[in-house]
Structure 1
Amino acid sequence: MALVELRGVSKSFRKGDETITPLDAIDLDIEEGEFVSLMGPSGTGKSTLLNLVSGIDRPDAGTITVDQTEVTKLSRSKLADWRAANLGYIFQTHNLIPVLTAYENIELPTLLLKLSSAQRRQRVQIALEAVGLSDRADHYPRQLSGGQEQRVGIARAIVAHPKVVVADEPTGSLDTQTSEQVQVLLQRLNQELGITLLMVTHDQDVAGIASRQLVLDRGKFLPRNQQPA
């Protein structure tokens, strides 16, 4: 069984008198330790898919299973607990809390878990080391570069040892050099730590760092022979 399974997943939205269906009865399997990138024109459901996998939103139809837990059947309260323990999210714009240090921003997800202070401290230190920021633990976001802020965001996403990390345009707000550094980091986290990644990007070069590339268009995954070269 795949770590992530989507079966017949559909999602529609109303926009005025029009019904938009960014996802139309899609199936998807993601194996444990796999790195999957997702591309497609704007408005084709890429971010919607991330939100469904992470339990932020619910599909209109179909089932989503992560590590044999059917996410679509969980109540709102159980979903929040499940997300805290199983899902890491990397945002495009970091979403760090400015009044907290890098250490404190990374620690936040662990506060939702049943961990001792020593266990939380150990996890934060491991996450800081994984992204190469052990010497920036006490710095506030305003004292960090854009690339360092994104690395803090990545550390926050992996600190709870999630089953899956989803990344929504993780390099979209970075300059070319910093983007390349983040790409190398994401590959290393996947290859060396075995972290399962599902990443949305508009950049074909960034998509190419993943072990598998998918393209969404008009609610469906494009066949491989119709994907960009």
Structure 2
Amino acid sequence: MTLVELKNVSKSFSKGDETITPLDDVSLQIDEGEFVSLMGPSGTGKSTLLNLVSGIDRPDSGTIIVDGTEVTRLSRGQLADWRAANLGYIFQTHNLIPVLTAYENVELPTMLLKLTRAQRRQRVELALEAVGLADRSDHYPRQLSGGQEQRVGIARAIVAHPKVVVADEPTGSLDTQTSEQIQSLLQRLNRELNITMLMVTHDSDVAAIASRQLVLDRGKFIESQTATV
């Protein structure tokens, strides 16, 4: 089943007198439960694509559909509600709130959902358990390692049971060993929880953990590979 679909999507920006087109009439389908990685030179539209799929930005033309909802037709208010219920975002630099505990950081997205306190607690505890941090729920970001902070960020991304998780360089700020641990965690969440993932990375080894790898250059997809493992 197709979960994410981009149809003839284009996006341009003005930079001085120059017009930059990071996405030029691109189309893409991502199936439910699929793990897709996206590579390409800097400035080629990888993060732009994530922002379009997540409704943070709008295309100049084309259509984006996620789980049957045409995201490009939603108003700003509708987009906020849709994003809270359907999309998780993993950042490169964690973006945790330093004055909140791991539990409280993970709980934040659930505050936008119509859940009881007991339901929120259950989701937060399950998310922290899924990333191996059930015993660190009362720790503040300053009390966690970089890898643990990223695990909290991942738990926050999955706590609302989103339709799709987008990840922008999720291992970019980590050392090699910690990066490998996060890669394994993302693979496990994809396989065991059937979480659909779209990940941007500059690292070909990280890209290879996905079931499908795309390369974006000069506004077009120029390569597509399917993992053999």
TM bucket normalised to smaller = over 0.9
2:193 maps to a residue whose letter is L
| Aligned counterpart, 2:115 | 115
| Aligned counterpart, 2:14 | 14
Q: Distance in 2 between matches of 1:137 and 1:91?
A: 20
Q: Distance in 2 between matches of 1:75 and 1:179?
A: 37
Say if 1:133 and 1:224 are closer, same or farther in 2 by CA, change over 3 A: closer
Q: Distance in 2 between matches of 1:129 and 1:64?
A: 33
Q: Secondary structure at the match of 2:19?
A: strand
> Deviations 1:10-63 (Å, cap 9, x if unpaired)?
000000000000000000000000000000000000000000000000000000
| Aligned counterpart, 1:81 | 81
> Deviations 1:44-98 (Å, cap 9, x if unpaired)?
0000000000000000000000000000000000010000000000000000000
Q: Give the % identical residues.
A: 85
| Aligned counterpart, 1:96 | 96
2:64 maps to a residue whose letter is I
Deviation at 1:224, TM superposition (A): 4.0
Q: Distance in 1 between matches of 2:123 and 2:142?
A: 24
| Aligned counterpart, 2:195 | 195
Q: Distance in 2 between matches of 1:61 and 1:207?
A: 28
Q: Secondary structure at the match of 1:99?
A: coil
> Deviations 1:192-216 (Å, cap 9, x if unpaired)?
1100000000000000000000000
> What is the aligned-residue RMSD (CA, Å)?
0.8
Q: Distance in 2 between matches of 1:223 and 1:135?
A: 42
| Aligned counterpart, 1:44 | 44
| Aligned counterpart, 2:152 | 152
2:49 maps to a residue whose letter is L
2:103 maps to a residue whose letter is Y
Matches for 1:46-61 after TM superposition, within 5 Å:
46-61=46-61
> Deviations 1:147-168 (Å, cap 9, x if unpaired)?
0000000000000000000000
Deviation at 1:135, TM superposition (A): 0.3
Deviation at 1:223, TM superposition (A): 3.6
Runs of 4+ in 1 over 6 A off after TM superposition: none
1:188 maps to a residue whose letter is R
| Aligned counterpart, 2:143 | 143
Q: Secondary structure at the match of 2:2?
A: coil
Given that 2:212 and 2:224 are in contact with CA atoms closer than 8 Å, whether structure 1 keeps it comes out as no
Given that 2:216 and 2:223 are in contact with CA atoms closer than 8 Å, whether structure 1 keeps it comes out as no
Matches for 1:23-42 after TM superposition, within 5 Å:
23-42=23-42
2:71 maps to a residue whose letter is V
Q: Distance in 1 between matches of 2:147 and 2:224?
A: 33
Q: Secondary structure at the match of 2:47?
A: helix
Structure 2-normalised TM-score? 0.97
How many pairs were matched up? 225
Q: Distance in 1 between matches of 2:92 and 2:198?
A: 14
Q: Secondary structure at the match of 1:97?
A: coil
